[in-house]
Amino acid sequence: MQIICCGNPGRGDDSAALLVARELRACGIEAEIESGDALDLIEDWDETGEVIVVDATVTGAAPGTVQVWDGTLPEKIVTATASTHGLGVGEAVYLAQILNRLPRRLRIYGIEGKQFYPGSEVSPEVKEAAEKVAKQIAQETVLSTQYSVSSAR
């Protein structure tokens, strides 16, 4: 399973996914960090495998709300990634769908943020949500590994 965490450490809650990556790495689970640029995501994710992308979102939900898109594509994904030119995770999904370059299974964890201006702190709700998401992904990763091992036997 490939885990890609997107964000910018200099923009407050946009580093939500980076906190997730830090937690996962502390557990010995590999997590890649990217800006969330759509073109880079499509080039970097494993089209033949299972991919989890984590990013901050701005959907109008309460800060810290975690939303998961799994399998079916939502009508619109609004991620808050600080991709400089506005082509983020949502655009990556739609572009990859058109180009037939979606991973075999793609899940997107969105953590709702509230403050994104340069130099701002991560809000407490987002910190708490990032820990929860990291735990959930860690559990899934362990289960996935166990399943792979048992399937191979």
Partner 1 sequence: MRTGASRTIRVDTLARVEGEGALLINMSGERVTDVKLKIYEPPRLFEAFLRGRHYSEAPDITSRICGICPIAYQMSAVHAIERALRIHIDPAVRLLRRLFYCGEWIESHALHVYMLHAPDFLGYQDAIAMARDHKEVVERALRLKKIGNRLVQVLGGREIHPISAAIGGFHKVPSKQQLAELVEDLEWALEASLETVRFTATLPFPNFEQDYEFVALRHPDEYPFNEGRLVSNRGLNIDAAEYEDHFRELHVKHSNALHSVIRGRSSYLVGPLARFNLNFDKLPQVAQKAALEAKLPPPVKNPFRSIIVRAVELIFACHEALRAIREYEPPAAAHVELPKRSGTGWAITEAPRGILYHSYTFDENGLIQNAKIVPPTSQNQKRIEDDLRDYAATLVAWPLDEATWKCEQAIRNYDPCISCATHFLKLRIEKDPESA
Determine if 119 is a binding residue for partner 1 (CB under 8 A).
yes
Amino acid sitting at position 48: T
Nearer to partner 1, 83 or 141 (CB): 83
Q: Does 116 bind partner 1 (CB under 8 A)?
A: yes
Q: Which of 35, 65, 67, 136 binds partner 1 (CB under 8 A)?
A: 35
Q: Does 69 contact partner 1 by CB under 8 A?
A: no
Answer for which of 49, 74, 86, 124 binds partner 1 (CB under 8 A) is 86
Using rule CB under 8 A, residue 55 touches partner 1: no
Instruction: Determine which residue in the list 57, 83, 123, 141 makes contact with partner 1, applying CB under 8 A.
Output: 83
Min dist CB 74 to partner 1, Å, is 14
Least gap, CB of 146 to partner 1 (angstroms): 32
Q: Is residue 87 a contact residue for partner 1 (CB under 8 A)? A: yes
DSSP per-residue letters across the chain: -EEEEE--TTSGGGGHHHHHHHHHHHTT---EEE---HHHHHHHS-TTSEEEEEEEE-SSSPTT-EEEEESSPPS---B----TTS--HHHHHHHHHHTT---SEEEEEEEE-S--STTPPPPHHHHHHHHHHHHHHHHHHHHHHHHHHHHH-
Please classify residue 65 by burial: count the beta carbons closer than 10 Å to its beta carbon, then call 0-12 exposed, 13-18 middle and 19+ buried.
middle
The footprint of partner 1 (CB under 8 A) covers 8-11, 14, 33-35, 37-40, 42-43, 58, 80, 82-87, 91, 94-95, 98-99, 116-119
